Structure 1
Amino acid sequence: MKKRNSESSRLDRKTVERNRRIHMKDLCFKLASLLPPHLFKPSKDMLSQQDQLELAASYIKQLRERVEGLRRVKEEQAITTTRTSSSAMTSMMIGLRLPVVELRDFGSTIEVVLISGLNKNFMFYEVINVLSEEGAEVVSASYSTVGDKVFHTIHAQVRISRLGVETSRVCERLQDLIC
């Protein structure tokens, strides 16, 4: 009876181990299929599982470093933009004739800064309509009130990048709208 139990137990362990190996092989195959094909050098020899795992680990490390680098660049640009915007606002508020329309073209994105007085009424949705009609999609919009001035900032993305947006035409239409 004891001998039968030990044989049964040995068979169970072999089955469990075989299933574990099959599962691990399947996971390694799935991991390798997620890697971009350019990572595999064209060779006649197949990569071992260990090589595939090392390749995946180095690729993940490269991606992590790239993400961190992009995050740092984004933070630096945000800080620079904030400094530039605050100094620009200060200089603009001195001797400012309202309303002001300022458009910055960044290629595939544009930034619109509208400065108006509290007493100047224009419908914000009309500004968004102008941008939309000219081929830009509004990504974000914000406003702030400083004293008797209202600062509107709109970020828009060009819908069809090869056509772009004619910023001079947009600026003209916005001038007509808010003046």
Structure 2
Amino acid sequence: MHSDFSVTNAALISVFSNSRRGMMESKPGSCRHDRKTRERNRRNQMKALFSELHSLVPPRSPTESTLSLSDQLSEAANYIKSLKVKVEEMREQKQNLLEVEKINTTMNNGPMIKFKSPEIRIWNTGSILEVVLVTGLDDQFMFNETAHVIHEEGADIVNASFSYVGDAMLHTFHAKVGEGDSPDERISEKLRKIVNDMLMEFHP
């Protein structure tokens, strides 16, 4: 009886030892499995983020060569930077238009104003030049001269308009300028000289 108990006890100890050894041996494998799972999840997350980023970039032509992953990331980064620049330009243009609208509102609702000298405002928002001229000279000549000066300085007029507000005239020009070119100071100087010469003729 005592012998049977000893055998049974030894067997239990052996089973427990083998089980514990098996758990210890399987633990490194389990860690490796966890690492693989985490790495797979990380890769899937990176793929999802890259897909979302790549969707922001305009599609490439089928004839263009396929870019590497690093080149695609650089292309996406550059495209996002260009969008930021465009947004800033549009924000400045919006602010400029609001200021022009403020001029219109003031002259429409306010008393009749007689301008002794013109008010010239020029905004350069990178590729777009906006010229606003408010003058008391009720003459088409000034509109034509402004267009001539803008062309003379190498800018291409995209659109132009003029309107009568009371006894004043509001000229508005939008022109496209070359990269790195800033003709706003030259245009302003020439317009002021033309208007001053006209004022001298009317009021010698």
* Structure that is richer in helix per residue: 2
Mark the structure with the bigger radius of gyration. Answer: 2
